[in-house]
Structure 1
Amino acid sequence: MASGPEGAVRGSSYAELSRQMKRAGLLERRAGHYAVRIAVNAAFYAGCWTAFALIGDSWWQMATAVLLGVAFTQSGFLGHDAGHRQVSASRRVNDAVGLLHGNAMIGIAYGWWVGKHNRHHSHPNELGHDPDLAIGVLAFDDHQVPDKRGLTRFTVKYQAFLFLPLLLLEGWSLHWESAKAAWRGEGRRPVLERALLLGHGAAYLAAVLLVLPPGKAALFVLVHQGVFGLYMGCSFAPNHKGMPVLPSGTRMDFLRRQVTTSRNIRGHWLTDAVLGGLNYQIEHHLFPSMPRRSLRRAQRIVQEHCEEHGIAYTSTTFLGSFREVFSHLHAVGAPLRSGS
């Protein structure tokens, strides 16, 4: 994944900022840090499944389902970092980490996701180019509203109220899109990706059905996948939703495009851990290959640079970000509620 604009001018504002990051050592990989993070995550993931096996046929398994939803999302964050080449300078190592945490551990096609996410990074919040705006049941800009028909027209009409409930389905959507992409042969290793997805699905269903009776098994899966989708969605949604949406073909320099369409979430070390570093969305978009550990230090440098060059830099609280998201969604759906 690219770490800067194609053909960046050496004397440009972004080039100046990039040189600052290099001098501070913030673009250097942190292999040891990621080794520890991967080990801790693996222990948590394995611990959840061990608890599931030991608890057995009990309604307490719904608590295990919640914990597994957290474990899946944290694994997804590591797959995200690998997709951005943050873990290692070696593409093979990053791909191995991505395939492990994506296909094998959570059932998401790593190759498909990387391609989709690359398009998002190249055109954040740009209509017709950012795949994260192409969500059929929602509208993020007035221009998307007239195309809505039937059920999608209803969901857009009340999308501010339905947004969080719809995120409960995000996990299912990711699995479905992953399966379709894998069978289309997307990604650099389609055969391996298919095998890993099949292995994950078979192991997951076998574990659940061997331990729980059908009714509890079905509820366990619903709770687990619902928490996974909600947690994943609530980690990504504050980053761009409710920020300026750009018309297709908008010409804007790399620095301004990435900063003005992104939003940071203020907090502390716990915020960083819960949101997987995505709370530093501006810095991440400017330097996608920057290791997660370096983002907090980079934030101060980027904010000062933006203030110096008169570039709007948005930072708010987690709850404040959702107020902005809901307000924006409600405003976009207003024409449908007024009957116009």
Structure 2
Amino acid sequence: MTPSTPAAAEPATRPAPQRPRERAVSDYAELSRRIQEAGLLRRAHAYYWSRIAFYGVAFAGAWATLVLVGDSWWQLLVAVWVSLVVVQVTFLGHDAAHRQVFASHAWNEWSARIFAGGIAGLSYRWWTSKHNRHHSGPNQVGRDPDIESAVLAFTLESAAERHGLRAWFARRQGWAFFPLLLLEGVNLHAQGVIELVGKRGAQAPHRVVELALLVTRLAANLAVVVLVLPPGKAAAFLAVQLGLTGLLLGGSFAPNHKGMPVVPREMRVDFLRRQVLMSRNVRGGRLVDWAMGGLNYQVEHHLFPSMPRPHLRRAKPLVEAFCAERGVTYTETGLFESYGIVVRYLNAVGLRARDPFTCPLVSVYRG
């Protein structure tokens, strides 16, 4: 019998080729290993406690200033102050809802509920339900609520269903997007109340507590402004406060996915590519990090939702290098460039509503 040669034995010891799904799973597992070894999933207690204390004092200080200043047009600066604090507390609520702040699930949940309802005037229940669906299928038709709107058409499918005045508006909707964000503050407050008093919120855990927080916050906000200021100044104060809040929050979320590939209803994409290909980072320094609440690192946030916000900046070069290794497109633009993309994309959706739908991911995978 002739002994086996090394060449003959090699095929028996060679590992079997991985299937596409197995490769995708192993890709994300390898990236996760690198992130964990870098210590980027550890809690950042000092970061969060310092900000909770600072913005708590700033929020109380804003309302105390409103009462002390009294009848004056300088109160519009206080309205800006309140808006900036509310936006930053909303970001803290977002982080807590993603389990970034504390090790305890209960601490995160109640912190998010208090930040959202008691200070920002938003519903924790409504936000988490909507936001969790967004994270599970970003930019996917039928799954992502952020691309479903009665006012704006975010997909060709939605635009094609619009006729008459709605179709006329869709062809110009990009230019209306940012002015509409001035109404987003009112919309966010209203959606929270509607959720909690409606049938969908009837079974929500701690519904009564959350509704009490939300209604008390909104009623107290209105009462203090109306009691301190005459009608004209009170209306101006509320317009600045709510308009700026909506604009800042909308301006933080809009650049992250609008204009990125839209995934058809039935298409399946592995987790790593689903989160990276449909997300866009925004370049900038510490000011952009603060203004966008860390959401400018959208790719890293979607890949690791529980990663504390201050670690996202450090994770970025690791994720970007890994995507380059695996040939996964990693998108990053400047802030104003991203806004231009959003406007052009929304206008293009309206103008091309009658064109056949072609999935942008097809060209990505073929490439």
TM-score, normalised with respect to structure 1 = 0.93
Query: Mind listing any 5+ residue stretches in structure 2 that lack a counterpart?
Result: 1-20, 356-367
Q: Which has the larger radius of gyration?
A: 2
1:29 partner letter: R
The correspondence for 1:245, drawn from 262, 265, 278, is 262
CA RMSD of aligned residues (A): 1.9
Task: Measure how far apart 1:68 and its partner are.
Answer: 1.4
Match of 1:173 in 2: 187
Match of 1:55 in 2: 69
**Any conservation in 2 of the 1:126–1:245 contact (CA below 8 Å)?**
yes
**Any conservation in 2 of the 1:260–1:311 contact (CA below 8 Å)?**
yes
Task: Measure how far apart 1:336 and its partner are.
Answer: 6.9
% same residue = 49
2:91 partner letter: F
Alpha-carbon distance in structure 1 between the residues aligned to 2:165 and 2:94: 32
Match of 1:304 in 2: 321
Moved more, 147-156 or 228-237: 147-156
For 1:280-319, list aligned pairs within 5 A. 280-319=297-336
**Any conservation in 1 of the 2:24–2:270 contact (CA below 8 Å)?**
no
**Any conservation in 2 of the 1:138–1:152 contact (CA below 8 Å)?**
no
For 1:185-224, list aligned pairs within 5 A. 185=202, 187-224=204-241
1:142 partner letter: L
Alpha-carbon distance in structure 1 between the residues aligned to 2:83 and 2:40: 31
Determine if the alignment matches structure 1 residue 111 to structure 2 residue 133.
Answer: no
Task: Measure how far apart 1:48 and its partner are.
Answer: 1.7
Distance 1:265 1:10, change over 3 A: closer
Match of 2:289 in 1: 272
Distance 1:237 1:186, change over 3 A: farther
1:51 partner letter: T
Match of 2:242 in 1: 225
Aligned to 1:26, what secondary structure does the other structure show? coil
Moved more, 150-159 or 310-319: 150-159
Match of 2:6 in 1: none
Task: Measure how far apart 1:157 and its partner are.
Answer: 2.0
Moved more, 216-225 or 41-50: 41-50
Query: Mind listing any 5+ residue stretches in structure 1 that lack a counterpart?
Result: 1-6
**Any conservation in 1 of the 2:71–2:230 contact (CA below 8 Å)?**
yes
Deviations along 1:155-205, one digit per CA (max 9) or x if unpaired, are 322111101100011111111110011113253210111111121122111
Alpha-carbon distance in structure 2 between the residues aligned to 1:112 and 1:143: 26
Alpha-carbon distance in structure 2 between the residues aligned to 1:171 and 1:186: 26
Alpha-carbon distance in structure 1 between the residues aligned to 2:44 and 2:222: 36
The correspondence for 2:157, drawn from 140, 143, 148, is 143
TM-score, normalised with respect to structure 2 = 0.87
Aligned residue pairs total 332
Distance 1:212 1:149, change over 3 A: farther
Deviations along 1:121-169, one digit per CA (max 9) or x if unpaired, are 0010001110000111111221111222455334322111101100011
**Any conservation in 1 of the 2:90–2:116 contact (CA below 8 Å)?**
yes
Deviations along 1:91-111, one digit per CA (max 9) or x if unpaired, are 111112111210011110011
Alpha-carbon distance in structure 2 between the residues aligned to 1:83 and 1:154: 39
Moved more, 309-318 or 7-16: 7-16
Alpha-carbon distance in structure 2 between the residues aligned to 1:10 and 1:168: 41
**Any conservation in 2 of the 1:112–1:186 contact (CA below 8 Å)?**
no
Determine if the alignment matches structure 1 residue 183 to structure 2 residue 183.
Answer: no
Determine if the alignment matches structure 1 residue 328 to structure 2 residue 345.
Answer: yes
Distance 1:98 1:8, change over 3 A: farther
Alpha-carbon distance in structure 1 between the residues aligned to 2:117 and 2:252: 20
Determine if the alignment matches structure 1 residue 77 to structure 2 residue 91.
Answer: yes
Aligned to 2:249, what secondary structure does the other structure show? helix
Aligned to 2:305, what secondary structure does the other structure show? coil
